[in-house]
Structure 1
Amino acid sequence: MTTPSALWREARNPPRHPPTALTFRNKSVLVTGANSGLGYAASVKYAALGASPLLLAVRSEEKGASTKAAIEREVGAEKTKTIKIIPLVLELSSFASVKAFLKRFDERLPHQTLDVVLLCAGVALPDFRTSPDGYEMTTQVNVLSNTLLALLLLPKLRASGAPTGDKGDKDSPSSLPHLCFLNSLASHVVEPKMLPAAASGQTLLDHLNDRAKFDVTKHYYLAKLAAWFAMSGMIEHPRDFETRDVIINACCPGMCRTNMQRDFPFVKRIMAKVSLLPLSRSAEEGSRSLINATGLGPESNGKFWRNDEFLPPGEMLDSELGQELYHETWDEILKILKPHL
């Protein structure tokens, strides 16, 4: 786990701003969770860097309209009059709602391809809640629904096709379609003692979906681990999902001040804000990692971008236990999602 002293140093050494050469001009970009926190901060940067259309996936039409207006104010009329900003309603609490989003997307934007997809949407909950599909809600949203959404969006990424005009040369790294998962250092520092005991017979997903085993902190780490395994599975099976021509990576913004704990009790939210204030970055600072991660080339495929560098797998991930857990978890995720693909 990251120590307070490490967080103190990181808060005072935020990621670099996107390089001046990085542009998303005339590129179609979809950001989920775009109405607040890191998703909003990233959306502002994409707009400033010329992304068009910039698709804002939010949970309601009202949030979409207010987010679009806020971005236009923040970026400025001169910049936003040259780009299209389009809100879209996305709910991740069930598989049906994810598929409904794809249907609305196709009805409103027929034949629209995607150059960049940044998956920021997620939840952090203080207690065990069950989704309409019968899974623990954090697992449903942050792992299963996000993975389903990524798999369903892959055809739109692949269909961006050979770049033309401002998209540059076909072999330019910046011209390749890009899918980026917001993750956390937590996925890379899980310790074996946090995993389900072998004697329990539980898989990682079984453990996450066991009400009796719910622990807020441990659950966060294990859900991030499962999400990392999901991304890894997509990359390791390029023939199954035709991911060869799509850059897929993950990024971590570091500890940031956002409204991620909005569902926690008021007193706990205040205590967390006070205690983390000197140890955290702003959402804008954290979003720099997200933007930079989606501007990387093929060398970033399957890797984890954090603090302006690639983070190597942790000890557990690199171990035989980690590899066994990865294959078991990916197989289980795929079995759950296949009926919805």
Structure 2
Amino acid sequence: MRKPIWQFIFDQWSTVPPVEKANLRGKTVVVIGANVGIGLEATKHFARMNPSRLILGCRSETKGREAIEEVKRETKYGESELWPIDLADFSSVKAFADRFNKKKQGKGLDILVMNAGILQLNYEEAKDGWESTIQVNHLSTALLSLLLMPNMISAGTLSSPSRVVIVSSDVHYWATIEDEVRNSPKVLAKLSDKTYCTTNAMRRRYHQTKLFNLFFVRAMAAHLRLKTPMAAVAVNPGYCYSQLRRFHYSRPMLNMFVRMMELLLAWTSEQGARQLVYAAVGARKKGGSGCEEELKGGYVHLAEVVEPSDFVISKEGGMLQEKIWNETIEILSGVTPKIGDIVAEYFQ
């Protein structure tokens, strides 16, 4: 599928479907990047569904505590938990997963929403040596998703699989990967190389990582063993008012353009959050359009599974997806040997 700009504008002006509702009593929900924007609004929606546990993963403890209070004030749900996590630091991601394993207090994890992300205009190195957008948006997102997989599989059933929801974006339709990068033995390493990360290269970086989010979800679905009670889903929250673009505000001309785009096209954070909620609790029927099976490895847009970009579903896209999957597993296996064990047990 191709998505011209006019289609993007039409979608932004379309009526946003109402929020999906479900009974989450007895369920455990984790939202990473829950203290602001669509992550916070999605957390509020989950809170209204009364889960047994609702864990907010936040980098800033101060903002996290403020989010807890806002959730309680607006939903009357008082059981939210704040757990610190910094996706720019692999050790923080591992500590979060270890804490969950020790304190899961029940059968496991039913819903994981990976919403945290950054949009950098300039090269910045994360603690572990990777370009920060690559690490936060892709590598750490994949790391936590994989480390929590055993808990999700133990919570799911074939009739009601657990779900990992990874926030992608329609910008994947316009993502470009140069032949120089595609043909490199290590795609992620090439993209993360400081000498490669020119100003022009960094303009494409966010789009590329959103493509990688979709690749990761599709690769998980393709490699998971049959009858594994877990579904991986990518979701487009739409173009929303967001602090994600805060780095643009320091550049006058870019700031003016972004403000105009937001005024003309942007959804509210709550409207964007509805897409995350649909990916997490919607499409539970069996068979036909909008069924559970259709959701696995799918791309959710406006509360339905839609076709991703032509490149994603092409032979070349499939080859790049597999190449990045293998490189990702290799990198993360170096972060912790648990990744190798999980891949060996649950993937084929």
What TM-score results when the alignment is normalised by the length of structure 2? Answer: 0.84
Deviation digits for residues 312-336 of structure 1 (CA, Å, limit 9, x no counterpart)? 1322122222122111111111110
Cα distance in structure 1, aligned partners of 2:148 and 2:184: 34
Going from structure 1 to structure 2, the CA distance change for 1:323 and 1:51 (only over 3 Å counts) comes to same
Deviation, 1:219, is: 1.1
Cα distance, 1:14–1:32 mapped onto 2, change above 3 Å: farther
Change (3 A) 1:211 1:12: same
Q: 1:64 to 1:329 in 2, by over 3 A?
A: same
Corresponding position: 1:26 with 2:11: no
1:306 aligns with 2:301: yes
Equivalent residue, structure 2, for 1:88: 83
Q: Which residue of 2 aligns with 1:105?
A: 100
Residue in structure 2 matched with residue 219 of structure 1 by the alignment: 205
Please say if 1:183 is aligned against 2:168.
yes
| 2:74 is aligned with 1:74 | yes
Task: Give the partner amino acid of 1:232.
Answer: R
| Residues 214-268 of structure 1: per-residue CA shift (max 9 Å, x gap) | 33331112112222222222222224xx882101111001111110023445245
1:115 aligns with 2:110: yes
Does the CA contact (< 8 Å) of 1:33 and 1:39 recur in 2?
yes
User: Do 1:7 and 1:280's aligned partners in 2 also have CA atoms closer than 8 Å?
Assistant: no
In 2 relative to 1, CA 155–199 (structure 1 residues): closer, same or farther, beyond 3 Å? Answer: closer
Distance (Å, rounded) in 2 between the aligned partners of 1:289 and 1:234: 21
Shift of 1:112: 6.2
Q: How far, CA to CA, are the matches of 2:4 and 2:104 in structure 1?
A: 46
Identity %: 27
Unaligned runs of 5+ in 1: 163-169
| 263-272 or 62-71: bigger deviation | 263-272
C-alpha deviations, 1:142-174, integer Å up to 9, x for none? 100110100001111112255xxxxxxx72xxx
Task: Flag the 1:19–1:221 CA change in 2: closer, same or farther, 3 A.
Answer: closer
> 1:190-230: per-residue Cα shift (whole Å, max 9, x none)?
35xx4233797464313421334333331112112222222
Determine whether 1:205 maps to 2:188. Answer: yes
Deviation at 1:47, TM superposition (A): 0.7
**Alpha-carbon shift at residue 110 of structure 1 (Å):** 4.8
- State the secondary structure of the residue aligned to 1:323: helix
- Shift of residue 51 of structure 1? 2.3
Q: CA separation in 2, counterparts of 1:188 and 1:274?
A: 22
The C-alpha deviation readout for 1:268-290, integer Å capped at 9, x for no partner, is 57422233321111111111111
Q: 5 Å matches for 1:132-151?
A: 132-151=127-146
Is 1:195 the equivalent of 2:178? yes
Secondary structure at 1:86's aligned position in 2?
strand
Q: C-alpha distance in 2, partners of 1:204/1:299?
A: 29
- Could you tell me how far apart the structure 2 residues matched to 1:125 and 1:318 are? 27
Tell me, what secondary structure is at the counterpart of 1:338? helix
For 1:237, the equivalent position in structure 2 comes to 223
Secondary structure in 2 matching 1:248: strand
Gaps of 5+ in 2: 284-291, 340-348
User: What is the TM-score with the length of structure 1 in the denominator?
Assistant: 0.86
